[in-house]
Amino acid sequence: MRGAVLLAAGPARERLVRGLSRHPLTRLRRVSADDPTPVTTLPTAYAPAEVEGPLYERWVERGYFTPSGDPAKPPYTIVLPPPNVTGSLHLGHALNHTLMDVLTRRRRMQGHDVLWLPGMDHAGIATQNVVERELAKEGKTRHDLGREAFVQRVWQWKAEYGGKILGQMRRLGEGVDWTRERFTMDERLSAAVQTIFKRLYDDDLIYRAERIINWCPRCMTALSDIEVEHSEDEGELVSIRYGEGEDSVVVATTRVETMLGDTAVAVHPDDDRYRHLLGRTIALPLTDRRIPVVADEHVDPTFGSGAVKVTPAHDPNDFDIGRRHGLPMLVMLDERGNVTVPGPFQGLDRFEARPAVIAALREDGRIVAEVRPYVHAVGHCQRCDTVVEPRLSLQWFVRVAPLAKAAGDAVRDGRVAISPTSMEPRYFGWVDHMHDWCISRQLWWGHRIPVWYGPEGETVCLGPGDEPPTGEGWTQDPDVLDTWFSSALWPFSTLGWPERTDDLMRYYPTSVLLTGYDIIFFWVARMMMFGLYAMDGVQPFDTVALTGLIRDRYGKKMSKSSGNVVDPLDWMDAYGSDAVRFSLCRGANPGTDQAVNEEWVQGARNFCNKLWNATRFALLNGARLGELPVREQLSVADRWILSRLHATAAEVDGHYEGFQFARAAEALYHFAWDEVCDWYVELAKTPLARGGQEAESTRLVLGHVLDVVLRLLHPLTPFVTETLWTALTGGESVVVADWPVADPSYADPEAEAEVAAVQRLVTEVRRFRNDQGLKPGQRVPARLHTGPDGPLAAHEDEVRSLLRLERAADGFSATASLQVGSVTVELDLSDAVDVAAERRRLEKDLAAARRELEQTTAKLDNEQFLAKAPDQVVGRIRERRATAEAEIARLEGQLAALPAAP
RNA sequence: GGGCGUAUAGCUCAGUGGUAGAGCACCUGUCUUACACACAGGCGGUCGCUGGUUCGAUCCCAGCUGCGCCCACCA
pLDDT digits (tens, 9 = 90+) for A371-423: 888 878 888 888 788 898 999 999 999 999 899 989 988 988 889 988 888 88
| Rounded-to-integer distance, Cα A542 and Cα A512, Å | 6
Residue A207 vs residue A363, higher pLDDT: A207
State phi, psi for A534 to the nearest 5 degrees: -75, -35
> Considering only CA atoms, which of A832, A830, A826, A823 is closest in space to residue A782?
A826
A563 CB burial (10 A radius; 0-12, 13-18, 19+): exposed
pLDDT digits 0-9 by tens, A96-127:
999 999 999 999 999 999 999 999 999 988 89
Confidence of residue A785 (pLDDT cuts 50, 70, 90): confident
| Residue lying closest to nucleotide B12, CA to C1' | A595
Distance A47 CA to B8 C1' (A): 37
Q: Which helix (H) or strand (E) holds A238?
A: strand A228-242
Residue among A561, A627, A226, A200 nearest A402 (CA) = A200
- Among A701, A686, A680, residue whose Cα is nearest residue A622: A701
The answer, yes or no, to whether residue A494 has pLDDT greater than 80, is yes
- What is the reported pLDDT for A592? 79
Query: Which nucleotide in the DNA or RNA is closest to residue A44, CA to C1'?
Result: B35
Helix or strand (DSSP H, E) at A217? none
What is the phi/psi pair of residue A256, to 5°? -55, -40
Structure-model confidence comparison of residues A44 and A378, the more confident one: A378
Closest nucleotide to residue A25 (Cα to C1')?
A: B31
> For A643-680, b where at least 16 C-beta lie within 10 A, e where not — what string?
bbbbbbbbbbbebbeebbbbbbbbbbbebbeebbbebb
pLDDT of residue A637: 93
Of all nucleotides, the one whose C1′ comes closest to residue A318's CA is B73
**Alpha-carbon dihedral angle through residues A786, A792, A794, A797, given to the nearest 10 degrees:** -120
In whole angstroms, what is the distance from residue A592 CA to residue A237 CA? 39
Q: Which residue is nearest to nucleotide B69 (CA to C1')?
A: A518
The reported pLDDT for the residue numbered A22 is 34
Nucleotide B63 C1' to residue A121 CA (A): 49
Rounded CA–C1' distance between A632 and B33, in angstroms: 28
Query: Protein A617 CA to nucleic acid B31 C1', in Å?
Result: 18
Gap from A531 CA to B30 C1', Å: 63
Separation of A869 CA and B51 C1' (Å): 25
Q: Which nucleotides in chain B have some atom under 7 angstroms from a protein Cβ?
A: 2-5, 11-15, 18-19, 22-25, 28-42, 54-56, 68-75
Nucleotide nearest to A304 (CA to C1'): B75
What is the DSSP secondary structure assignment for residue A833, as one 8-state letter? P
Buried b (16+ CB within 10 A) or exposed e, A282-293: bebbbeeeebbb
pTM of the model: 0.89
**Model pLDDT, residue A815:** 78
CA of A646 vs C1' of B54, distance in Å?
Answer: 39
What is the average per-residue pLDDT within A476-486? 93
Q: Predicted confidence band at A607 (pLDDT cuts at 50, 70, 90)?
A: very high
- The closest nt to A876, taking CA to C1', is B18
CA–C1' gap, A330 and B66, in angstroms: 47
**Is the model's pLDDT at A284 over the cut of 70?**
yes
What pLDDT is recorded for position A561?
Answer: 60
Cα separation, A487 vs A110, in Å, equals 30
What's the mean pLDDT in A849-863?
87
Indicate the DSSP class of residue A277: G
Q: Given pLDDT bands bounded at 50, 70 and 90, which one contains residue A831? A: low
Which residue gives the smallest C-alpha to C1' distance to B56? A865
Q: How far is the CA of A765 from the C1' of B42 (A)?
A: 15
- Residue A520's pLDDT is what? 77
Tens-place pLDDT, residues A60-104: 999 999 999 999 999 999 999 999 898 888 888 899 999 999 999
Amino acid A670: pLDDT: 94
Helices of type H across A424-480: 424-431
* Mean pLDDT in residue range A279-298: 87
Mean pLDDT in residue range A615-639: 91
Interface pTM, i.e. ipTM: 0.94
Q: What percentage of chain A has pLDDT greater than the value 70?
A: 93
